[in-house]
Each structure stands twice: as structure tokens, then as C-alpha cells.
Amino acid sequence: MVFDIYTPMPIQELGQRLNQEDSIWPPIGKATAEDRLFMVCDGMGGHDNGELASATVCNALGLWFRKNVNPDAPFNDDMLRSALEYAYCELDALDNDSARKPGTTLTLLYLHKGGITAAHMGDSRIYHIRPGEGIKYISRDHSVAFELFQSGEITYQEMLAYPQKNIVTRAMMPGEDNRSRADIIHITDVAAGDYFLLCSDGLLEQLANKEILDIFSSGGSDEEIRSYLIGITANNHDNHSAYIIHVRKVTLTDDEEDTLTNEESKSRYNQLNIIPKEYL
């Protein structure tokens, strides 16, 4: 697959916080239509710790991809796991044995000749949106609230108002014997006009899935969509960061047309296969 995208649109806002614990890749102001790797990380661990963890993971993964991935060659999950292992090692260097260890969520999107690889840990999200048709994919939250919903202990509506809904069950943390693993999904059903949204949970404080679909189906320019999202989240409490990736064109080579498969529709990592239809 050959992807042609518009210039990606970043969002990185403080909210009502005093410091920015989110990190994005490419860094703010650096993204171009030639980029193929995108990340949004939401740091945890308090002042300094969170922002250091998220920046370390973004920078480590960005460096690993730059050194080890040929954009014209095949890409597979083992390569991604090697990249994550490298980032974990970089994160381990931050472990100071304090009670509040640095840590970060991760959302990652990589466009390559075999399709799109999406990976995440925590409650930052990846959306695949097809304007006029619907949302194709929403990554599953790794949170206490979402796992209670999945197990049937609370309803979806109760999950949305759960008092500890921001407690995550997976994150990249240093110095752990059992490292959290990323959920990985492969996406090949990609069409011209599709959007991918990577965002920290701070962006979603008051945004429902239906509203997100409406915003991206509005027909506005990418800059208008970005500005609108910044405006309606201006009073959000938490840091909120995002990347908006808009697909201009997708071209399949002859040898790919019959071999590529798409995992979105049946994946257990896709919230759409779990949450009630009225919330879509």
C-alpha cells in the first residue's frame, strides 16, 4: 500500500494543569505529509516524572524507527516489539525507586507498505473515522472502569461516570519484571478521505463518540477541525493532545490486492465490538 496524506494536524494543550505531561511524535511543528510514524503519550507520575516518561518513550521509539525501519521494506509485529523493548530500556534509566514512578500511556500509528499498524497501552485512544459512513475503530481502554464494564459489573453509562475512570491497568513503566504489552491491530481497509485520530484522554473529557464523528464529517478543512477541537476542549481540566491524520489517497500494488487482510471488524481490541450501539 502506498499512502498519500495531508499535512498532519497536532494538538497539544495544557488544560487547567500547570505542566504538560503529554508528548507527541512528530514534535509540535515538525510533522509533514511525508511522515508515517505518529504517537501520542500521556505521562503519569506527577510533575516532571510524567512529562519525562512520555517524552522518553516518544523520542526512543522515534529514534528506533529512524535507525531500523526502511519505509520501502516490509514491517511486522516483531519489529514493533523490538522498538517497544528499546523504549522500555530507555525508560528503565528513569527509575529512581520512588513511590511515584514515571510512566506513560502510548498510542502509535505506523503507515507502511503492508497497511497500517496501530498499537496502544492505557486510556489514550486511536480512532479510525470514515466521514459520512461512521467510525471504523476505537481502541479499547486499558482502565479499571472499562474492564469492569467488559466483565459486566457496571453498565456502559455507569462506566462513563465511574469515579476512578482515569486509573489505567496498562502503561509503560520503568523497572517492572512483567512489562505491559501493547494491543496491536492491522488496518488495511483504508480509503481516501479517512481520518485517524490519536488522542490522550484529556481531549475526551466532554466529547462523545457521536460528536467526534460529527466533527470529522462536517466537511471542514483539517485546520478548521483542529481549531474546533481546541476551542470546545478549552475548559478541559487535563492536558489534551492529539494528532489528526487525513488520508488523501491510497494505492494498492498488484501483489497486495489479494493478500492484505483487515482486522478492525472482528478485533477484540475494537470498542465498537463491545459498547452499546446507541453510544456510536
CATH number of domain containing 190: 3.60.40.10
| pLDDT of amino acid 214 | 95
Q: What is the mean pLDDT of residues 145-173?
A: 91
Coil, strand, or helix at residue 17? coil
Q: What is the mean pLDDT of residues 198-214?
A: 93
Q: How far is CA 71 from the centre of its chain?
A: 21
**Higher-scoring residue by pLDDT: 34, 48:** 34
DSSP secondary structure, 174-189, as one string: SS-SSPPPPEEEEE--
- In tens, the pLDDT along 48-107 reads 688 899 999 999 999 999 999 998 888 999 999 999 999 999 999 887 666 577 899 999
Domains identified in the chain, total number: 1
Residue numbers of the domain that contains 198: 2-279
Q: Are 60 and 104 contacting, i.e. CB atoms less than 8 angstroms apart? A: no
**pLDDT of 280 higher than 80:** no
| pLDDT of amino acid 276 | 81
Which of 59, 69, 207 has its CA nearest to residue 129?
207
Q: What is the mean pLDDT of the chain?
A: 91
| pLDDT of amino acid 198 | 98
Q: Are 225 and 9 contacting, i.e. CB atoms less than 8 angstroms apart? A: yes
| pLDDT of amino acid 73 | 84
What span, in angstroms and rounded, lies between the C-alpha atoms of 213 and 134?
A: 7
CB-based contacts of 66, cutoff 8 Å, min separation 6 = none
Q: Are 42 and 105 contacting, i.e. CB atoms less than 8 angstroms apart? A: yes
Q: Are 37 and 110 contacting, i.e. CB atoms less than 8 angstroms apart? A: yes
| pLDDT of amino acid 255 | 66
Considering only 12-21, 125-134, 222-231, 254-263, which range has the smallest mean pLDDT? 254-263
Handedness of CA 274, 276, 278, 279 (dihedral sign): negative
**pLDDT of 45 higher than 90:** no
What span, in angstroms and rounded, lies between the C-alpha atoms of 175 and 142?
A: 20
Coil, strand, or helix at residue 201? helix
pTM: 0.94
